[in-house]
Amino acid sequence: MKYIVFDVDGTLLNSDASIVRCMKESSRKYGYEVTHIRENIGVKKLEDILRLNGVDENLIPAIIDDYKRCYEETFHIDTTTVDGSYEVLKKLQVNPLGIVTFKYYRLTKMLLDKFFPEINFNYIFCGDFPFKMTDKAEALRIIVENAGNPEIVYYVGDRREDMEAAKRAGVKGIWASFGLGSLDVGITYDYKIDSFKELLDILG
């Protein structure tokens, strides 16, 4: 048995267009033109991306609330599944599956229900639930405790920070090169996949 854990944005879903569009739309309502979004997806929380852009701290909650509304109402326009992800997950779910993402829980659950309706995720850790996560390694360590052996836990992600979190948690990192990590440099990993279907070669 293997415990297989996934990042969401850029790994399971092509969702960066929705995130960038809603972040820009929501920020403009409050007089800000936010940049450096795409390169920080999965790396920083959205609140921190706003801070990076000099947004007034008092306005951040309102912008985030508007972002969530935009995302919930319009993600269907430009969010899609990564090619082959649904079919592969159906085969892999004989093992315990998990999610570790900085996305908000409500949005994550909505996306999983929409795009992966028959997939059972045993673990779902998000940026705001079940605790305020600041490091993905925190959630991975909890999964390791449940697994009882870090050698059977794998984290699939597309960013350098995902692979670094896997290393800090002592689990195997599988880098999805087709995601947003193509923007990163200096990525180290245990395994690399250029398509989602290659997971079956690694995990059986």
The pLDDT score that the predictor gives to residue 112 is 97
* Mean pLDDT, residues 16-27 taken together: 96
**Entry pTM:** 0.92
The pairing of strands 13-14 and 191-193 is unpaired
pLDDT at 46 over 80: yes
CATH number of 3-14+80-203: 3.40.50.1000
Confidence of residue 204 (pLDDT cuts 50, 70, 90): confident
Tens of pLDDT, residues 153-183: 999 999 999 999 999 999 999 999 998 877 6
Are the beta carbons of 97 and 116 closer than 8 angstroms? no
The pLDDT score that the predictor gives to residue 183 is 61
The pLDDT score that the predictor gives to residue 119 is 97
40: CB partners within 8 A, 6+ apart: 48, 49, 52
| Angle of CA points 50, 177, 135, to nearest 5° | 45
What is the spatial distance between Cα 112 and Cα 157, in angstroms, rounded to a whole number? 16
Percentage of the chain beyond pLDDT 70 is 99
pLDDT at 19 over 90: yes
